Amino acid sequence: PEPVSVTLTVNGQTHTLSVEPSVTLLDLLRERLHLTGSKKGCDQGQCGACTVLVDGRRVNSCLQLAVMKDGAEITTIEGLGTPDRLHPMQAAFIAHDAFQCGYCTPGQICSAVGMLDEGHAHGQEEIRELMSGNLCRCGAYTNIVEAIEDARR
């Protein structure tokens, strides 16, 4: 199939790119835009390491074809905060030691931000349930939930 022209606004910057129809949003972000914060864990929608916000909603970017997101607004971990001006969720993850190896962290943080914007997450149980699509192989779940509770305040 022929490449298709796709326009995406990523972290406030608009890009128009020629994209093969089979390219995932995750690969486009990482390989074409060099935004490597979003991680490729399973590439099958099972781990959440690739979570980004598309029009404000959290999605597994490995499961989305980039061409289907034409016109969308995407926020990746790089767009949430900077080292000088952390997003409150990033600051909370640091304050609560909510990671060990850090590989899942960008996806955890994007997912947590999206979840709070959805207006759910009233207690620890609900946070665990709503974050269940984001796996942490180090098992930092207790601290992740505490960080999210803190950021919600």
Contact, 49 vs 39, CB < 8 A? yes
DSSP helix/strand/coil, 25: helix
Q: Whole-number minimum distance, CB 75 to ligand FES, in Å?
A: 16
Out of 6, 8, 53, 62, the residue judged to bind ligand FES by CB under 6 A: 62
Q: DSSP assignment of 124-144, as one string?
A: HHHHHHHTTTS--TT--HHHH
Contacts to ligand FES from residues 97-116, by CB under 6 A:
none
User: Six-digit token pair at 36?
Assistant: 């490597």
Q: Quick check: 50 binds ligand FES (CB under 6 A)?
A: yes
Q: Whole-number minimum distance, CB 12 to ligand FES, in Å?
A: 23
Sign of CA dihedral 64, 67, 72, 73: positive
Query: Of 109, 24, 90, 23, whose CA–CA distance to 63 is shortest?
Result: 24
* Of 42 and 95, CB closest to ligand FES: 42
Q: Whole-number minimum distance, CB 107 to ligand FES, in Å?
A: 8
Contacts to ligand FES from residues 9-48, by CB under 6 A:
40-43, 45-48
Residues of this chain that bind ligand FES (CB under 6 A): 40-43, 45-50, 60, 62
